[in-house]
Structures are given as structure tokens and as C-alpha cells.
Amino acid sequence: MAKIYWAGQSCFEILVSNSRDHEANIVIDPFNEETGLKVPNLTADILLVSNNQHTQNNVKTVKGEYFLVQGPGEYEVKGVFVQGIPSFHDAQNGKEKGQNTIYTIEAEGMRFCHLGDFKQKELTDEQIDKIGTVDVLMIPVGGENTISSAEATKITSQIEPKIVIPMHYELPKLKDKLDSVEKFLKAMGKNKDSIIAQDRFLAKESTMPKDGMEIVVLQP
């Protein structure tokens, strides 16, 4: 079982335990106080950073003797397999805001995908091939520096995950003006009242949806 917590923006903490000897805390995209949000207290064994934007690269605040990944490549740490896939932080092939790294994480018999500050209009065939079959997708939906809710629905259909966790959307005290998560839910054909925000999501290989796709909304 993997425990998934969302701290706001694109920052997640994923706790996995492949065996008694392979437990790992994975932290992704720690942000700083310039976002307007409270900086979370995080400890990592594996720390992933998707882009160089200083508000989402606050590695100094993360505790622990972590293995830091800041770009494309393949890595195996404490029984967790991580793949960094190159992508762009804008719709002009990186000419405006540079590179972004998509991460896939394999642990507990499942495959997680975190898109980071993804801003391409769609995934390329090569990116789709490298991402592969996804159990849990973490995708930005708020627009501005990332894809919009409408674009996110298209990217989601390209990946076809079993579970979708939206991220990088409007929150109280957040300084950036982003779209609400309700706008994404509406674009996905979901009634916002039918999905209750959770403090965490427990991902199990045995309980993944067999057919269709589920949306999980987390609260920081």
C-alpha cells in the first residue's frame, strides 16, 4: 500500500513499503513561502524536482539524507524505480519557460506518474510510450503556468490512468490566480458534490479500478 499526501501546488509526499527492508518517503516539488501557502514539514528518502522554478524547488526545507533527482534519467533507490521523462514548461517547446520533467515511479506493484509543471498542449507519442500504463496520475489542472482543465482532460485521455489526482489549482491564500478544481471536475463530466476531498489516498494494487477511471481530490 502507498500513502499519498498532497501539500498544495504540485507538492506530494508518497510513502511506500515494498518490503520490510525497502521503505521510502518520496517527496515531489517542495514549494516555498512565496506561493502564499504554508510550507509543509517534509522528510524524504527520494526527492524529485520537476523544474527549476524557484517557488517549486525548495529542496533546502526538506529533511533527511535524500537522493535528489532533478531531471531526466532512470534511477533505482530503496527498491523504488524512478524514470524522468523530458517535457516542456510551455507550449513553444521550451522557448519561453524551458524544460519540465515528467516522473514515473514504480513501487508496490503500481506505477505512479507526476506531470510536474507540464504545459504542452498534448503528449508526444514518445512521451506516451515512456509513461506507459499508469495506475495513479497526478496532473495540473489550474492553467496559468500549467495546462488548463480542458487541456488536462485531453492529456488524461492520452494516458488513461486508473486513478486521477488533480493538482496545481486554486487554494485559499495561494497568490497565483488559478482555476478551481471544480472546473476540471466539470470538464471530466463529474458532479463536484459526488467527490469528497480526502486528507490522503491509500493506493493498493488489489483495489485499483478494473474498469473505467476514478478521480480523487486531496486537500492539503
The tens digit of pLDDT for each residue in 28-47 reads 999 888 888 888 899 999 99
Strand order in 73-77's β-sheet? 73-77, 80-88, 99-107, 110-114, 136-140, 163-167, 214-215
Residues 144-181: tens digit of each pLDDT? 888 989 999 999 999 999 999 999 998 888 888 888 99
Judge whether 56 lies within some domain. yes
Find the mean pLDDT for residues 179-200: 88
pLDDT score recorded for residue 47: 97
Judge whether 210 lies within some domain. no
pLDDT above 70 covers a percentage of the chain that reads 93
Mean pLDDT value across the chain:
89
121 or 141: which leads in pLDDT: 141
Residues 69-111: tens digit of each pLDDT? 999 999 999 989 999 999 876 555 655 656 899 999 999 899 9
Judge whether 105 lies within some domain. yes
pTM: 0.92
Which CATH number belongs to the domain containing residue 181 in this structure?
A: 3.60.15.10
pLDDT above 70: residue 25: yes
Reported in sequence order, the residue ranges of the chain that DSSP labels E, i.e. its strands, are 2-8, 11-19, 22-28, 46-48, 67-69, 73-77, 80-88, 99-107, 110-114, 136-140, 163-167, 201-203, 214-215
Judge whether 99 lies within some domain. yes
Judge whether 219 lies within some domain. no
Q: Quote the domain boundaries for residue 66.
A: 2-205
Judge whether 11 lies within some domain. yes
pLDDT above 80: residue 202: yes
24 DSSP 8-state letter: E
- How many structural domains is the chain composed of? 1
Nearest to 127 by CA among 104, 150, 153: 104
Judge whether 217 lies within some domain. no
Is-contact 131 113, C-beta < 8 A? yes
